[in-house]
Structure 1
Amino acid sequence: MKQPSWWGAGVVYQIYPRSFCDASGDGIGDLRGITRKLDYLEWLGVDAVWISPFYPSPMKDFGYDISDYCGVDPVFGTLSDFDRLVEEAHGREIKVILDYVPNHTSDEHPWFVEARSSRKNPKRDWYIWRDPKPDGKPEESPPNNWESIHGGGSAWEFDEATEQFYLHTFQVEQPDLNWSNPEVREALYGVMRFWFERGVDGFRIDALPHMAKDRQFRDDLPNPDWHPEDPPSQRLRRLYSEDQPEVMEMVRGMRAVADEYEGRVLIGEIYRPLARLMDYYGEDLDGIHLPYNFGLVLLEDWTPAAVGAFVEEYERALPEGAAANWVLGNHDNPRVASRVGEAQSRVAQMLLLTLRGSPTCYYGDEIAMTDGHIPPGAEQDPQSRSNPNYNRDPERTPMQWDASSNAGFCPETAEPWLPLPEPEVLATHNVAAQQKDPRSTLSMFRRLLGLRRKVPALTGGSFRRVETKNPSVLAYARELGGEERLLVALNFGPGRETLDLSAEALETGAGEVLLSTLMDRRGSVDLRAMTLRPHEGVVLSSALRAAGR
């Protein structure tokens, strides 16, 4: 198989900048803090960092409400700090990917300030405005039934000064841009070029499907599967308020800008069913390089059967020549160690880092950080204000660098913007402690990344599921050119499992253990009766025949 480009198999490490490292001493992470930790990321072995927004912002959605696309908010530093970060990262052969938020701005962005000043303002059509329905009071008669994703309720806000509604798919302070307007497109393409010229290696595009709305503004339909315990924003099937066919024209435009610069990547935040997700690659792979695959994040049934079936379904759905990608967590979803348990999280990380394609790792998952406890009154996430059940603070707590009271995230004299765990948790779940422990989750994670660099089959090889008679085990092969063969076997259960993989064995019947999630065994094993301990995963070398031989 053809070796993929850097982004086709590179390990991407997501940094939520508020929570990574505070160099200024105000309790909030910043760009200089990220630069300070680049040696750690180089030691870890990641290929790229994706940095969530650090642009000037009123912080109504912690940076996803942007008031200046081409600057740095003072809380995070300066453009000079950013330039140094890029230079230092590239000096360590680490790529830099930024968040790109083209669907909406802050309501304090100069574009929107102009747009709402008058119906005749040249920027008026840069946003989506509609008249009230003719029945009832204007301010109580939105143009259709579209609902906001953050907390539900109408996605339309009445502007008294101009007596029209503007659309906000997310919070009321985040008005949607009108991508049907060519001037808007050119302005947002200019933003991309600004950062590409500063050395940025790519963008993760936020809320991509939301950029294209139905031009007739038809009502969304009721969701028959909605239950009162579900998020209010899911009451409707968003058939018209997002993901319209015109989005692919927008995608191709962004791709054309990226193609002006060599080796740049576009990653899309696209929560869509598999069939639709694949459309975002483009008919001739001229779309998004990596439409994010959230299947492992959203999978409710964490079992070998469900995980294996999804991996196979995803592999079958991929267009020929498209790069696969995998995600276990991010800033919007509970941490993997909280979802599946700490012991099973090691198995999940081995899965993530041995599947075909590019994995994205969320900061802290490499030390098995769990969701933080946020006491009542300490909530920061604006989404929690409208619905406390959907607070994203727990997965955004500060990175745990050491066992000190502020975990090495910020000086002892500062108060972290979100609380840290209890001392007994910090004592073991921190980078400093786990770097010294050869059997720690961090040591395992680093060894996996090292294995990816040394074994081409893990980055450029094919995927083939291997059937076992053990319902608690998922096994699969990675093979490159019939010359290099690996077997991965993952025990999802709390009991010991003895596998008979003799059908996959070479003449000797043996395989060599390259890595165990428990970090305590190497050497040869008999594949006719190989035992996996509870929640153990292994990577075996030279264990397989090529499929069909």
Structure 2
Amino acid sequence: MTTHAEPATEPPVSAAEDNDDETTTDPGWFHKAVVYQIYPRSFADSDGDGIGDLPGIISKLDYLQKLGVDVVWLSPIYTSPQDDNGYDISNYRDVDPIFGSLADLQQLTDGLHARGMKLVMDLVVNHTSDEHPWFIESRSSKDNPKRDWYWWRPPRQSPVGGGGAEPNNWGSAFSGPAWEFDQATGEYYLHLFSRKQPDLNWENPEVRAAVYDMMNWWLDRGVDGFRMDVINFISKDTSLPDGPKAEGMLFGDGSPHFMSGPRIHEFLHEMHLEVFAGRDKPLLTVGEMPGVTVEDAVLFTDPARREVDMVFQFEHVALDQEDGNKWRPRKLRLTDLKQSLGRWQEALAGRGWNSLYWGNHDQARAVSRFGDDGQYRELSAKMLAGVLHLHRGTPYVYQGEELGMTNMSFGAISDYRDIEVLNHHREATTHLGHTDAEVLAALAPLNRDNARTPVQWDATRHGGFTTGAPWIAVNPNTSHINAAEQEDNPDSVFSFYRQVIALRHAEPVVAEGDFSMLLPDDEHVYAFRRSLPGSAAGAAAGVAAAPGVQLLVLGNFSGEDRTVELDGGGWGDAEAGADEPELGHYPAELILGNYPSDGAGTHAEITLRPWELKVFRRQHNN
């Protein structure tokens, strides 16, 4: 087994060493882009088998173009046994028949490109399926050439009755131990997720070469980049030591030994050189990185280091959980959210880049989690869109979010489909002493199936998703929350998302401006300022000279009126005095709101109605 190197804190090679291999296209194109995530099995079903597919996605391309997004991120459609809904891949170079064919994927790629959109594929290379040919070979014998492509270890003691002591005490993210005993060879293999998802051994250069070759194959077919699943898990401490074990837990926490591990920066830089460098079109690389720190994210996303363009971090989506345990939900404090997001904005301001999201296929529905999915569903969905998209970073829209889709009410464990939920329910009721009712109540707010119910296209049976029986139930509220009702309604959540996306495209300050958090201690109002100096604003807009531009964003995260006082009117300069309703020499304009406009400019004191969003714009000389 190869030994590891020390953690990399500087670029593995200098920028000059591989500068000649860099692309010649605009490296910051994604600053103005908005990404839309599609979870294929729940998006649109074309053939009535109850599972969404590629032809279904193709039929909705005009809808995506109307929304105005720039990039479509496609969750895995590769050949898979579907143990974890496609995140267990058995063939990286083909499409699973339940989704269609390579020809369908090419048609989708071409259709997106014809409409000015790009395609980003989900890439899962921390692990494969146990049905992948690589693993089938690896487990066939201890001396197979691919044995070292995965993490195999002998038992701590001689196997007894077909099993033995696991090589360490790590637990799987999907409950149970992170090791599975293989009877034929008498050893265990590591799986940080399902037992059907064995971890690849990235210490082996043959593994890395095979992965890079596969990635190049997809880029050569026209794909525009990758969102890389748990990519910061690929480097592990090769001694595989035990992890700390909390009281009452069945297994140890191995994350200190594989999250952003010893060689992670080296591996990602090598990937950049072998796959992305020198290509003549804009590409996007996104690293999903559970547990990533701000300090590491700066290194990962610093353009000079050539690793990834941005990371998905999980800090803000763990704030409504006790000790980061999603099965122990708690009420979110807005001050915690502002502190977290503000810290990431500040840390990545000088170098690096943020991703912005409320939800995805692994998170509960945004309006149910951060807003009010009852009386104020539409208002809070719009407010959440405005607040998120006007931060500095690239925003992500998860399918149905643009409609204000909500969490689902699941009545029994049999209604769920997610392996994470099913495994936790079994462990909690059989080993941890909890009742079925207790576990179901804990599962309800944050389970992943909340986001995986089918997209609600219309008010017909099964929401227009399928003519057959859907693989998971459609939310009954499709009768009044659906795309058909919203697409041509100027006051709908969908239309508001179009406005927010258009604002990013039109206003350089949204993509490139500085970020300043305001009212950090206010428990109900989220407020911030975006600023772009005149010279920068002019250059970004492609004109010789232009005034500076500022945006003031205010969002009420409550169901009551809230009055706030803003020093200098919120603009951060002396000329915007508290007694100047029009902000001194620089008048402000309300450019976006989720209530009918009252025509008022900004004042030092502003009252926001329940879940109200107000976005003001002003120009000024620098």
TM-score when normalising by structure 1 = 0.91
Shift of 1:276: 3.2
Equivalents in 2 of 1:23, 1:131: separation in Å?
A: 48
Question: Is the aligned partner of 1:370 residue 2:370?
Answer: no
Shift of 1:314: 1.0
Equivalent of 1:144, from 165, 168, 171?
168
| SS of 1:239 mapped into structure 2 | helix
Equivalents in 1 of 2:362, 2:518: separation in Å?
A: 33
Kept after mapping to 2: 8 A contact 1:214/1:242: no
Counterpart of 1:77 in structure 2 is 100
Equivalents in 1 of 2:448, 2:257: separation in Å?
A: 27
Counterpart of 1:384 in structure 2 is 421
Counterpart of 1:173 in structure 2 is 196
Shift of 1:507: 1.7
Deviations 1:331-363 (A, max 9, x none): 111111111223333322111111011011111
Equivalents in 1 of 2:75, 2:272: separation in Å?
A: 20
Counterpart of 2:229 in structure 1 is 206
Question: Is the aligned partner of 1:265 residue 2:284?
Answer: yes
Equivalent of 2:33, from 2, 5, 10?
10
Question: Is the aligned partner of 1:498 residue 2:563?
Answer: yes
Deviations 1:148-188 (A, max 9, x none): 1111x221111111111111111111111111111110100
Counterpart of 2:458 in structure 1 is 402
Would the alpha carbon gap of residues 521 and 247 (structure 1) be closer, same or farther in structure 2, given more than 3 Å must change? same
Equivalents in 2 of 1:469, 1:108: separation in Å?
A: 52
| SS of 2:95 mapped into structure 1 | coil
Would the alpha carbon gap of residues 101 and 465 (structure 1) be closer, same or farther in structure 2, given more than 3 Å must change? same
Kept after mapping to 1: 8 A contact 2:298/2:351: no
Shift of 1:470: 5.8
Shift of 1:246: 1.0
Whichever residue aligns with residue 258 of structure 1, its letter is F
Would the alpha carbon gap of residues 94 and 283 (structure 1) be closer, same or farther in structure 2, given more than 3 Å must change? closer
Comparing 452-461 and 257-266, the one that deviates more = 257-266
Unpaired runs of at least 5, structure 2: 1-25, 321-330, 426-438, 535-547, 577-582
Counterpart of 2:368 in structure 1 is 338
Question: Is the aligned partner of 1:284 residue 2:360?
Answer: no
Comparing 241-250 and 461-470, the one that deviates more = 461-470
Equivalents in 1 of 2:232, 2:520: separation in Å?
A: 39
TM-score when normalising by structure 2 = 0.81
Would the alpha carbon gap of residues 510 and 404 (structure 1) be closer, same or farther in structure 2, given more than 3 Å must change? same
Equivalents in 2 of 1:79, 1:468: separation in Å?
A: 50
Question: Is the aligned partner of 1:513 residue 2:590?
Answer: yes
Would the alpha carbon gap of residues 496 and 319 (structure 1) be closer, same or farther in structure 2, given more than 3 Å must change? closer
Shift of 1:438: 2.1
Whichever residue aligns with residue 423 of structure 2, its letter is S
Kept after mapping to 1: 8 A contact 2:519/2:525: no
Counterpart of 1:45 in structure 2 is 68
Shift of 1:374: 3.0
Kept after mapping to 2: 8 A contact 1:278/1:319: no
Whichever residue aligns with residue 28 of structure 1, its letter is I
Counterpart of 2:389 in structure 1 is 353
Whichever residue aligns with residue 591 of structure 2, its letter is L
Equivalents in 1 of 2:420, 2:518: separation in Å?
A: 43
Whichever residue aligns with residue 353 of structure 1, its letter is H
Kept after mapping to 2: 8 A contact 1:19/1:29: yes
Deviations 1:466-523 (A, max 9, x none): 34896522221112224112111111222223344454343257421111123x2164
Question: Is the aligned partner of 1:452 residue 2:517?
Answer: no
Shift of 1:261: 2.0
Shift of 1:281: 2.4
Kept after mapping to 1: 8 A contact 2:301/2:351: no
Counterpart of 2:185 in structure 1 is 162
For 1:54-93, what aligned pairs fall within 5 Å after superposition? 54-93=77-116
Equivalents in 2 of 1:470, 1:105: separation in Å?
A: 46
Equivalent of 2:481, from 416, 429, 438?
429
Deviations 1:416-439 (A, max 9, x none): 1111122xx223211111123322
Would the alpha carbon gap of residues 181 and 22 (structure 1) be closer, same or farther in structure 2, given more than 3 Å must change? same
Deviations 1:251-273 (A, max 9, x none): 11222212242321210111123
Equivalent of 1:317, from 343, 347, 369?
347
Counterpart of 2:617 in structure 1 is 541
Equivalent of 1:416, from 462, 467, 470?
470
For 1:209-288, what aligned pairs fall within 5 Å after superposition? 209-223=232-246, 236=253, 238-256=255-273, 257-262=275-280, 263-272=282-291, 273-281=293-301, 284-288=304-308
Equivalents in 2 of 1:438, 1:192: separation in Å?
A: 42
Would the alpha carbon gap of residues 468 and 107 (structure 1) be closer, same or farther in structure 2, given more than 3 Å must change? closer
Equivalents in 1 of 2:259, 2:107: separation in Å?
A: 38
Equivalent of 1:525, from 562, 584, 601?
601
Deviations 1:417-463 (A, max 9, x none): 111122xx223211111123322211211111111112111112111
Equivalents in 1 of 2:248, 2:294: separation in Å?
A: 24
Kept after mapping to 1: 8 A contact 2:227/2:288: yes
Whichever residue aligns with residue 252 of structure 1, its letter is H
Identity %: 38
Comparing 484-493 and 33-42, the one that deviates more = 484-493
Equivalents in 1 of 2:146, 2:529: separation in Å?
A: 55
Shift of 1:319: 6.4
Would the alpha carbon gap of residues 319 and 246 (structure 1) be closer, same or farther in structure 2, given more than 3 Å must change? farther
Equivalent of 1:472, from 503, 518, 524?
524
Kept after mapping to 2: 8 A contact 1:491/1:532: yes
Question: Is the aligned partner of 1:297 residue 2:317?
Answer: yes
Kept after mapping to 1: 8 A contact 2:158/2:164: no
Deviations 1:174-210 (A, max 9, x none): 1111111111101000111011011111100001122
Shift of 1:327: 1.4
Equivalents in 1 of 2:185, 2:90: separation in Å?
A: 22
Query: How many equivalent pairs are there?
Result: 532
